[in-house]
Amino acid sequence: MTQDDRTASGDKSLRVQTENTQKELNVSLSKETYNVTYEDKEDFQNQDSRYSLCYEEQLKNYTQDICYVSFNNNMSALGKDNWCNMEMVIRSYNKLTECMEIVSSYLKCYYPNRVVEQLFVRIHQQYFSFCSDEEDLSDAPAGVVLVATLLPILLIPLIVYIVVWKSSLRD
């Protein structure tokens, strides 16, 4: 067996293993067992008790290949004009979150984790960076700014003069 044959055999074995794992994940995702992080369990914050060995590289690949691709397809179907409409996006975003929770749990990784956080940041930069709740405010006209600045400055000497004048009348 040559080196090329061994490499091809190893690549095929890895590909078959990846395909089998993806099939298992798809079955897990189709069962609709959402929110794998339950608050009523006392140990949900203790990472080491449940997730001592996390396969981060596989997590990165699976969240990319399964969760991100699905979210990307959903967002493409919505159209760029609807990306900032949370009523349109929320279902896809929720499915993305659930998918990442399930994949993290399946790969023995605590959720949320660094890999998931990086993917969320990338998704927010890609899809939601131009969304804003606030309307951009324009600058006030120069005349209004000038009056608002000079009026108190000019009133201060006048008020001081009146106070001094009133106090001199009492004497």
What Å distances lie between residue 3 and 7, 12, 36, 51, 60, CA to CA? Answer: 6, 14, 43, 37, 29
CB 106 within 8 A of CB 100: no
Compute the average pLDDT of residues 28-46. Answer: 55
H-type alpha helices, 41-141: 47-50, 56-62, 69-78, 86-106, 114-127
- Answer yes or no: is pLDDT of 95 > 70: yes
Dihedral, 36, 42, 45, 48 alpha carbons, nearest 10: -100
pLDDT exceeds cutoff 50 at 110: yes
One domain, residues 126 and 150? no
Q: Name the pLDDT band for 46 (thresholds 50, 70, 90).
A: low
Query: pLDDT tens digits for 65-84?
Result: 999 999 999 999 988 888 98
100 and 17, same domain (yes or no) = yes
Q: Give how many domains the chain has, as a whole number.
A: 2
Same domain flag for 115 and 169: no
- Each residue's pLDDT tens digit, 129-158: 888 766 667 888 999 999 999 999 999 999
Q: Report pLDDT for 35.
A: 44
93 shares a domain with 122: yes
Whether residues 7 and 72 fall in one domain:
yes
Per-residue confidence (pLDDT) for residue 129, from 0 to 100:
87
**What gap in Å lies between CA 111 and CA 102, rounded to an integer?**
9
Instruction: Extract long-range pairs of 22-30: CB within 8 Å, 24+ residues apart.
Output: 22/62, 22/65, 22/66, 24/106, 25/62, 25/66, 25/102, 25/103, 25/106, 26/66, 28/102, 28/106, 29/66, 29/99, 29/102
- Regarding whether 80 and 20 lie in a shared domain, the answer is yes
| Structural domain for 86, as ranges | 3-133
Determine the angle formed by the axes of helices 86-106 and 3-30, rounding to 10 degrees: 120
Q: Are residues 24 and 85 in the same domain?
A: yes
Secondary structure letter of residue 40 according to DSSP: T
